[in-house]
């Protein structure tokens, strides 16, 4: 029996690494916080009694996810892609395979992985949940859009009141409810501040929603989180509040989109006709607090999807290259092909390193928030935790957009290369790789385009918020073989500072907008570079990964800085002339 | 093997002695009420106790290069040991009965100590209890000896309404253990189950597969049922149960744990595991009143004389229709060949 968790040595390497690191998040304290110092075992027979027990639980459950993904979900994927979600008389149906997948994921208790046990959840750390999302996405990327929406329930947990938690969370855990996050509107995509959907109250204080939302993933779901304008007359994000409402007959699904990929996931246009809703949290905090918080997890979910697609595409390419014989030998042995395969594999592995560092950073941030809440309640001092949280927020604000940018762009590249290795065959529907190429294409668009991720990350990059971390890493001792690579990273860092200085001194905001892509990329080489150096110290095979990645990154860094300093972008002043009809 | 021919006829629905059959294909109306002193029947009607017979088998579906030996046989030690697929389906059917009508499900297996692996899997799927029947003296058992031990263990457990088993195991393909166990318990059996149509009081109505179709049978409880692979799609392991029961151990495993650590005593471990509901009940020769001559290799008349690969070609078989005349002819033939009688 194949298993998408157990057969992935690199995934196991990271899982094993969780208890050995504390760079971006320390799993021991993350789990201890989540488990109230292991006090829950008295009440729940499936709660861990200590850290090792918790890790064994996570491994065992990921094994269940890996089994489901390999043996039940993956065989249905072609059918799901072909059949897709459908709409008939305003009623949306999932493909047969999607229905089976959701039923079995619910039977396996996997629909409330991060939710507290008292609501029926598993109370897992976010990082472990992300591992499950990666595994599921490798089997069927479109299923991530349903399985990966557990964050919606988690947002209700974080910001809703106890009555709302009781009303919604248990049914998310049993799989009875699926959710949707209704943000986008026809005129409010990347620019969520211009949302128009109206929220108003009657004399009794009951809220209603009126207006249209578009491109809503699983908008036909049972529970919707809706961002709406609750303060009439306002124009920006401060007039928006978060609402929760039931789906079904309370609103109309006007249409579902006919898409390039992720056919299993229905993308809906919704019409709210005075739909009764409940306010989540406080008025006016909808965008500026709750959606921004949700975004950490949403970016990570899509990154996990991209990583799963990358893994699947790499495997298809590797297998095909081994099987396909041309010129009397398998094309795997042709240097031009094996070079692509090595690139794909190295990209896949370093992306995974970045991904799990980012996931840990989100976990660290959330657990610090929880600890502070608890200390506040107990009337204890929390200044120390507050300082930690400040830095943790900055790190998560850096790592999550960088991860989404790097991983989703990579997924497209890897799917592209996988198709290339298949040659003409890959262009045909009979082979899985064409679906992967189609599914990958949305990942660098939704939940914030790559361009928006650059914007989100650039503030942290310009402020060099990982300075102390890089200083420490530079001062680390490396075994002989790794010293040249450590020197490369020092050089990249110098290039980054020179480029940053150049951009700042130029004092031209249009130029800074364009150059920030290069700056974010330069910073990403350093983040990933030092992560893989740590791994290379732990595992001899990873030296190869570090070598190719860092030498490649140095070459790219030289290109990035050349683009910045050469005046390449100065022609943007003449964009209208260049683009003239 | 004479039994196998007999049971081959049986399992194809030709010999179906203790069930009332009505409906689709054949019309027989004998209803056997069964009364067995000593079996506490469940009188509530809507709570059913099921026992599921499961077996650990080598994973013959995933044979890879290093498993095949030079002489063409399979190196069992190198094959992963798994829960027999049709037994997993039997467990699923039992769990569905429980989900729909209420009750409990107990998984039992006879096998070596490592067979507790599959019992844990049964717990992960939803079985309430698990029981390992193990003893060196049970080794080398054929279907006769196996069904003898299983039936005695079931008598000891007692109070069951259903016994479910897979149609057959992928290692031996005999399909005999279920039927033989039913015979030894003197209870009716429904083989080749495709669907439990209803359970009403003390009566189960079931659809069973036969060659070229199906038949609907009705039977009083308790009954032994063997299932085919289409009967259900087994549910996945439940994450919460995996976490709760990952530490479930049989007595033998606890003994091994104690052997490796002088600070532990078996008695204390048993107490601790029992207290946490993590003890897999373990039955050995001493726990059951068994005739040693009927157990293990001594109790097994089946001797494998020779194994050969036979390729059947068309025209070597004879089709017997499920009509009164044809069945009469078959029984005559079976008597002639001294297979019956």
Nearest CB to B238 within list A67, A72, A109: A109
Consecutive H or E run containing B245 = helix B239-245
> Do residues A90 and A253 make contact, with C-beta atoms less than 8 angstroms apart?
yes
- Phi, psi dihedral angles at A2 (to 5 degrees): -80, 160
Residue A1 contacts B where some CB pair is shorter than 8 Å: yes
* Closest CA in chain A for residue B85: A1
- Closest CA–CA distance from residue A516 to any residue of chain B (Å): 44
Burial of B291 (0-12, 13-18, 19+ CB in 10 A): exposed
Beta carbons within 10 angstroms of residue A51's beta carbon: 16
Query: What is the three-class DSSP state of A364?
Result: helix
- How far apart CA A69 and CA B152 sit, in angstroms, is 41
Mean pLDDT computed over A384-413: 97
> Do residues A112 and A169 make contact, with C-beta atoms less than 8 angstroms apart?
yes
Q: Which residues in chain A have their CB less than 8 angstroms from residue B244's CB?
A: 45-46
- Phi, psi dihedral angles at A263 (to 5 degrees): -65, -25
Pairing mode, if any, of strands B129-133 and B103-110?
A: parallel
- Phi, psi dihedral angles at A5 (to 5 degrees): -95, -55
Q: Which residues sit opposite A182 in a β-bridge? A: A226
What secondary structure, in 3-state letters, does B16-53 show? CCCCEEECCCCCECCCCCCCCCCCCCCCCCCCEEEEEE
Best mutation target among B82, B243, B244 (most A Cβ atoms within 10 Å) is: B243
More confident residue, B176 or A381: A381
- How far apart CA A255 and CA A268 sit, in angstroms, is 6
Q: Quick check: B243 and A68 CB within 8 A?
A: no
CA neighbor of B240 nearest in space, from B95, B127, B129, B124: B124
Enter the DSSP assignment of A70: I
> Do residues A418 and A337 make contact, with C-beta atoms less than 8 angstroms apart?
no
> Do residues A416 and A309 make contact, with C-beta atoms less than 8 angstroms apart?
no
pLDDT value for B22: 41
Q: Which residues in chain B have their CB less than 8 angstroms from residue A72's CB?
A: 236
Which domains are delineated in chain A? 1-148 (1.10.540.10), 179-284 (2.40.110.10), 285-463 (1.20.140.10), 466-572 (1.20.120.470)
ipTM of the complex: 0.93
Q: Quick check: A122 and B240 CB within 8 A?
A: yes
- How far apart CA A374 and CA A361 sit, in angstroms, is 20
Nearest CB to A108 within list B59, B237, B276: B237
- How far apart CA B138 and CA B55 sit, in angstroms, is 14
Q: DSSP states of A124-192 as a string?
A: --HHHHHHHHHHHHHH-HHHHHHHTTHHHHHHHHHHS-HHHHHHHHHHHHTTS--EEEE--BTTBSS-G
Best mutation target among A41, A50, A57 (most B Cβ atoms within 10 Å) is: A57
Q: Which residues in chain B have their CB less than 8 angstroms from residue A1's CB?
A: 59, 62, 82
Percent residues over pLDDT 90 in chain A = 94
Please list, in sequence order, all residues whose beta carbon lies within 8 angstroms of the beta carbon of residue A57, skipping any fewer than 6 positions away.
A46, A48, B242, B243, B246
Mean pLDDT computed over A309-336: 97
Please list, in sequence order, all residues whose beta carbon lies within 8 angstroms of the beta carbon of residue B146, skipping any fewer than 6 positions away.
B110, B138, B177, B180
Q: Which residues in chain A have their CB less than 8 angstroms from residue B236's CB?
A: 64, 67-68, 72, 104, 107-108
> Do residues B32 and B79 make contact, with C-beta atoms less than 8 angstroms apart?
no
Q: Which residues sit opposite B57 in a β-bridge? A: B82
Q: Which residue has the tokens 């107490």?
A: B271
Give the model confidence (pLDDT) of A266-305 as tens digits: 999 999 999 999 999 999 999 999 999 999 999 999 999 9
Q: Which one of 3.40.50.620, 3.30.420.40, 3.40.50.150, 3.40.140.10 gives the CATH number of domain B2-307?
A: 3.40.50.620
Nearest CB to A56 within list B241, B244, B246: B246
Residue B314 contacts A where some CB pair is shorter than 8 Å: no
Residue B63 contacts A where some CB pair is shorter than 8 Å: no
Domain ranges in chain B?
A: 2-307
- Closest CA–CA distance from residue B244 to any residue of chain A (Å): 4
Residue A99 contacts B where some CB pair is shorter than 8 Å: no
* Closest CA in chain B for residue A174: B238
Percent residues over pLDDT 70 in chain A = 100
Whether the predicted pLDDT of A427 surpasses 50: yes
Query: What is the three-class DSSP state of B239?
Result: helix
> Do residues B249 and B278 make contact, with C-beta atoms less than 8 angstroms apart?
yes
Residue B241 contacts A where some CB pair is shorter than 8 Å: yes
Nearest CB to B246 within list A47, A60, A104: A60
Residue A122 contacts B where some CB pair is shorter than 8 Å: yes
Give the CA dihedral A416, A418, A423, A425, nearest 10 degrees. -110
- Closest CA–CA distance from residue B253 to any residue of chain A (Å): 19
Among A352-361, A388-397, B181-190, which stretch is predicted with the lowest mean pLDDT? B181-190
Q: Which two tokens stand for residue A386?
A: 């507050």
- Closest CA–CA distance from residue B279 to any residue of chain A (Å): 14
Cis peptide before A22 (omega within 30 of 0): no
| Res. A571 pLDDT band, cuts 50 70 90 | confident
Residue A109 contacts B where some CB pair is shorter than 8 Å: yes
More confident residue, B315 or A10: A10
> Do residues A87 and A18 make contact, with C-beta atoms less than 8 angstroms apart?
no
Give the model confidence (pLDDT) of A164-198 as tens digits: 999 999 999 999 999 999 999 999 998 999 999 99
Distances (CA, A) of B207 to A83, A216, A367, B229: 32, 45, 54, 13
Q: At what angle do helices B177-185 and B143-157 cross, to 10 degrees?
A: 50
pLDDT value for B298: 82
Please list, in sequence order, all residues whose beta carbon lies within 8 angstroms of the beta carbon of residue A5, skipping any fewer than 6 positions away.
A11, A12, A62, A63, A65, A66, A67, A69, A131, A135
pLDDT value for B171: 77
In residues, how long is chain A? 581
> Do residues A466 and A398 make contact, with C-beta atoms less than 8 angstroms apart?
yes
Residue A116 contacts B where some CB pair is shorter than 8 Å: no
Among A38-42, A61-65, A96-100, B88-92, which stretch is predicted with the lowest mean pLDDT? A38-42
Residue A247 contacts B where some CB pair is shorter than 8 Å: no
Residue B275 contacts A where some CB pair is shorter than 8 Å: no
Q: Maximum distance among all alpha carbons in chain B?
A: 72
- Across the A:B interface, residue pairs with CB atoms under 8 Å apart total 49
- Closest CA–CA distance from residue A46 to any residue of chain B (Å): 4
Q: Which residue has the tokens 């949306």?
A: A92
Residue B235 contacts A where some CB pair is shorter than 8 Å: yes
Please list, in sequence order, all residues whose beta carbon lies within 8 angstroms of the beta carbon of residue B197, skipping any fewer than 6 positions away.
B205, B206, B207, B216
- Closest CA–CA distance from residue A454 to any residue of chain B (Å): 38
Q: Which two tokens stand for residue B23?
A: 């409906």
Q: Which residues in chain B have their CB less than 8 angstroms from residue A46's CB?
A: 239-241, 243-244
Residue B166 CA, chain-centre distance (Å), reads: 5
pLDDT value for B64: 67
B:68-87 residues touching chain A, CB 8 A cutoff: 82
Residue A110 contacts B where some CB pair is shorter than 8 Å: yes
Say what the pTM is: 0.89
Q: Quick check: B238 and A107 CB within 8 A?
A: yes
In degrees, to the nearest 5, what angle opens at C-alpha B61 toward C-alphas B60 and B67? 50
Q: Which residues in chain B have their CB less than 8 angstroms from residue A108's CB?
A: 235-239
Residues in chain B with pLDDT values less than 50: 1-45
- How far apart CA A43 and CA B228 sit, in angstroms, is 40
- Closest CA–CA distance from residue B49 to any residue of chain A (Å): 22
pLDDT value for B69: 66
Q: Which two tokens stand for residue A141?
A: 């990327």
- How far apart CA A459 and CA A500 sit, in angstroms, is 12
Q: Quick check: B246 and A45 CB within 8 A?
A: no
Query: What is the three-class DSSP state of A255?
Result: strand
CA neighbor of A195 nearest in space, from A297, A296, A284: A284
Query: What is the three-class DSSP state of B56?
Result: strand
- How far apart CA B225 and CA B235 sit, in angstroms, is 19
In degrees, to the nearest 5, what angle opens at C-alpha A248 toward C-alphas A245 and A252? 95
Q: Quick check: B238 and A56 CB within 8 A?
A: no
- Closest CA–CA distance from residue A115 to any residue of chain B (Å): 13
Mean pLDDT computed over A196-224: 96
Question: Which stretches does DSSP call E strand in A175-308?
Answer: 179-182, 198-201, 207-217, 223-229, 240-246, 252-256, 267-280
Q: Which two tokens stand for residue A408?
A: 């989703």
Residue A121 contacts B where some CB pair is shorter than 8 Å: no
| Res. A435 pLDDT band, cuts 50 70 90 | very high
Q: Which residue has the tokens 């027989």?
A: B28
- Phi, psi dihedral angles at A199 (to 5 degrees): -120, 130
């Amino acid at each position: 029996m194949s298993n998408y968790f157990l057969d992935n040595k690199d995934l196991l390497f990271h899982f094993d690494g969780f208890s050995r690191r504390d760079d971006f998040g320390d799993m021991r304290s993350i789990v201890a916080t989540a488990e109230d110092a292991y006090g829950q075992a008295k009440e729940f027979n499936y709660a861990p009694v200590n850290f090792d027990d918790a890790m064994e639980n996570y491994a065992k459950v990921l094994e269940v996810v890996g089994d489901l993904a390999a043996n039940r979900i993956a065989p249905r994927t072609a059918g799901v892609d072909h059949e897709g979600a459908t709409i008939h008389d305003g009623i949306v149906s999932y493909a047969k395979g999607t229905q089976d997948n959701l039923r079995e994921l619910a039977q396996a208790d996997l629909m409330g992985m991060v939710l507290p046990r008292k609501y029926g959840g598993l109370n897992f750390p976010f990082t472990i949940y992300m591992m499950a999302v990666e595994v599921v996405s490798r089997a069927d990327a479109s299923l991530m859009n349903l399985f990966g929406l557990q964050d919606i329930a988690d947002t209700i947990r974080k910001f809703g009141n106890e009555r709302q938690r009781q009303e919604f969370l248990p049914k998310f855990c049993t799989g009875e409810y699926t959710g949707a996050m209704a943000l986008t509107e026809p005129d409010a995509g990347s620019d969520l501040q211009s949302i128009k959907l109206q929220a108003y109250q009657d004399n009794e204080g009951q809220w209603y929603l009126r207006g249209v939302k578009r491109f809503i993933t699983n908008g036909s779901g049972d529970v919707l989180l809706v961002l709406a304008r609750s303060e009439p007359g306002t124009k920006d994000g401060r007039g928006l509040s978060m609402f929760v409402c039931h789906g079904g007959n309370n609103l109309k699904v006007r249409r579902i989109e006919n898409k390039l990929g992720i056919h299993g996931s229905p993308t809906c246009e919704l019409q709210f006709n005075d739909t009764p809703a409940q306010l989540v949290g406080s008025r006016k905090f909808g965008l500026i607090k709750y959606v921004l918080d949700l975004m950490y997890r949403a970016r990570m979910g899509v990154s996990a999807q991209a990583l799963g697609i990358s893994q699947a595409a790499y495997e298809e390419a590797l297998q095909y290259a081994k099987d396909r014989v041309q010129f009397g030998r398998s094309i795997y042995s042709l240097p031009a092909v094996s070079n692509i395969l090595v690139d794909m594999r190295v990209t896949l592995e370093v992306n995974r390193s970045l991904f799990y560092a980012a996931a840990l950073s989100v976990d660290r941030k959330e657990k610090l928030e929880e600890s502070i809440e608890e200390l506040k309640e107990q009337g204890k001092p929390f200044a120390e935790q507050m300082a930690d949280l400040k830095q943790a927020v900055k790190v998560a604000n850096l790592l999550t957009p960088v991860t989404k940018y790097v991983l989703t762009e990579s997924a497209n590249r890897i799917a592209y290369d996988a198709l290339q290795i298949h040659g003409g065959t890959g262009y045909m529907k009979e082979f899985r790789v064409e679906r992967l190429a189609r599914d990958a294409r949305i990942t660098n668009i939704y939940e914030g385009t790559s361009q928006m991720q650059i914007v989100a990350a650039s503030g942290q990059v310009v402020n060099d918020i990982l300075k102390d971390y890089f200083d420490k890493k530079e001062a680390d001792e490396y075994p002989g073989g790794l010293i040249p690579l450590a020197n490369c990273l020092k050089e990249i860092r110098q290039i980054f500072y020179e480029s940053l200085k150049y951009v700042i001194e130029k004092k031209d905001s249009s130029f800074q907008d364009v150059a920030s892509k290069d700056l974010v990329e330069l910073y990403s080489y350093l983040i990933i570079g030092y992560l893989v150096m740590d791994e290379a110290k732990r595992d001899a095979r990873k030296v190869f990964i570090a070598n190719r990645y860092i030498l490649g990154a140095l070459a790219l860094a030289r290109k990035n800085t050349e683009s910045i300093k050469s005046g390449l972008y100065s022609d943007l002043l003449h964009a209208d002339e260049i683009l003239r009809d | 093997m004479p039994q196998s021919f007999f049971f081959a006829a049986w399992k194809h629905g030709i010999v179906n002695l203790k069930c009332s059959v009505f409906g689709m294909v054949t019309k027989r109306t004998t209803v056997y009420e069964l009364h067995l002193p000593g079996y506490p029947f469940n009188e509530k009607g809507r709570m059913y106790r099921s026992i599921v017979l499961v077996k650990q088998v080598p994973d013959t579906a995933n044979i890879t290069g290093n498993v095949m030996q030079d002489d063409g046989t399979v190196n069992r030690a190198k094959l992963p040991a798994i829960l027999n697929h049709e037994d997993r389906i039997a467990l699923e059917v039992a769990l569905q009965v429980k989900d729909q009508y209420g009750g409990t499900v107990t998984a039992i297996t006879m096998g070596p100590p490592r067979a507790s692996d599959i019992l844990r899997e049964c717990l992960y799927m939803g079985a309430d209890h698990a029981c390992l029947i193990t003893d060196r003296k049970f080794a080398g058992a054929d279907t006769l000896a196996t069904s003898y031990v299983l039936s005695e263990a079931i008598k000891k457990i007692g109070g069951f309404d259903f016994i479910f088993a897979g149609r057959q195991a992928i290692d031996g393909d005999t399909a005999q253990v279920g039927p033989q166990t039913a015979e030894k318990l003197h209870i009716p059996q429904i083989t080749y189950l495709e669907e439990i149509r209803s359970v009403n009081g003390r009566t189960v109505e079931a659809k069973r597969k036969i060659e070229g179709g199906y038949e609907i049978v009705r039977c009083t409880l308790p009954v032994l049922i063997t299932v085919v692979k289409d009967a259900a799609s087994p549910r996945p392991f439940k994450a919460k149960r995996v976490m709760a029961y990952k530490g479930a151990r049989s007595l033998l495993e606890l003994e091994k744990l104690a052997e490796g650590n002088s600070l532990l005593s078996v008695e204390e471990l048993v107490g601790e595991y029992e207290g946490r509901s993590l003890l897999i009940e373990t039955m050995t020769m001493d726990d059951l009143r068994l005739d040693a001559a009927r157990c293990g290799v001594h109790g097994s008349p089946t001797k494998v004389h020779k194994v050969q690969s036979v390729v059947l070609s068309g025209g070597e078989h004879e089709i017997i229709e499920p009509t009164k005349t044809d069945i009469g002819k078959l029984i005559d033939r079976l008597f002639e060949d001294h297979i019956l009688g």
